[in-house]
Amino acid sequence: MSEFSRILCPVDFSEFSVRALHYAVSLAQHYRAKLFVQHVVELWRYPSAGFSPGKYFDEFSQRLLQKGEEKLQELLRTATDTEIQPEPVVQQGTAADSILAFATSRKTDLIVMGTHGRRGFDRLMLGSVTERVIRKAPCPVLAVRKPAHDFVVSGKQQDTVHLSRILFCTDFSENSQRAMDHAISLTEEYNAELTVLHVLEDVPDSARMADVIAPTTERLKKLLPLEVLKPERIKTIVRIGTPYREIIQFTVEAQTDMVVMAVRGRSALDLAVFGATTHRVMQLGPCPVLAVHV
């Protein structure tokens, strides 16, 4: 269930990570959670510095760390209010490894990260940092890119999280169950509407749509926790086609505020599944995606 008491938000000062920070602040405020804001200084981005004598290399590293601390403090002054007082963390290392190590050592319940939404370039950016974090993180990861509409609604005094429509995507695997628990918890927390979606692939053209969709709809209904959520707050949808395309199309049509999906496993073999569905929904979809590792 979604009991977020310790939230981590890595930032690299790009517009994407700043947007993710606003989401993280709103969630921390709503859940009264401890918020860590992490910036990682990556020396490999400065290859020429490696040829400097040890003394100058150390001084260069310290200047980068100091500059990172100053930029992070300035960002937090503009992005947070007095009610939320995040703990700034500046480290030296590689981004993905540092994020994963910090999340594990501090036992965070959620990681909020910004993602780029460019097709070719995004494969490098999302693949090298966010994708690796999502596949190996010890907790759910909320991936945020530029959405068609935000669920962060600005108020007079503070930002508040507003979730009205949540979409949970399932393939009926055991892996999906934990992700569904988070979707249900968020639905309860925000008094939202929950849609449970399954996409059928490789349906023969000769098949009668009603004969194909009806049994799948019944399977979806059996998953619903009607003892927890009122029936009028839950909908089931069955679509036919390519999963990521149908998921994205539905989020656009329904003005979805958040998509909840499972991420399978931690090995490189999972890239086939991750790249085909979850990655593309994050990359091309109009709203944040909560990836729940199982």
Average pLDDT over every residue of 25-39: 93
Enumerate residues 6+ apart whose C-beta is below 8 A from 50: 43, 57
Taking only the tens place, the pLDDT of each residue in 107-127 is 999 999 988 655 444 443 444
Q: What confidence category does residue 141 fall into, taking pLDDT thresholds of 50, 70 and 90?
A: very high
CA–CA separation, 125 vs 188, rounded Å?
Answer: 34
Are 250 and 203 within 8 A, CB to CB? no
Note the pLDDT of residue 130: 82
Q: pTM of this prediction?
A: 0.86
> Which pLDDT score is estimated for 126?
44
| 17 vs 3: CA distance, rounded Å | 23
Residue-wise pLDDT for 260-273, tens only, equals 998 865 555 454 44
Q: Which residue segments constitute the domains of the chain, with CATH numbers given?
A: 6-144 (3.40.50.620), 163-293 (3.40.50.620)
**Kindly report the CA angle at 35 between 31 and 36, in degrees rounded to 5?**
160
Would you state the pLDDT for residue 243?
92
Task: Output the CA–CA distances (angstroms, integers) from residue 71 to 8, 11, 28, 67, 81, in the order listed.
Answer: 18, 11, 21, 6, 17
- At residue 157, the pLDDT reads 44
Higher-confidence residue: 122 or 199?
A: 199
CB 244 within 8 A of CB 277: yes
Give the rounded distance of the alpha carbon of 144 from its chain centre. 6
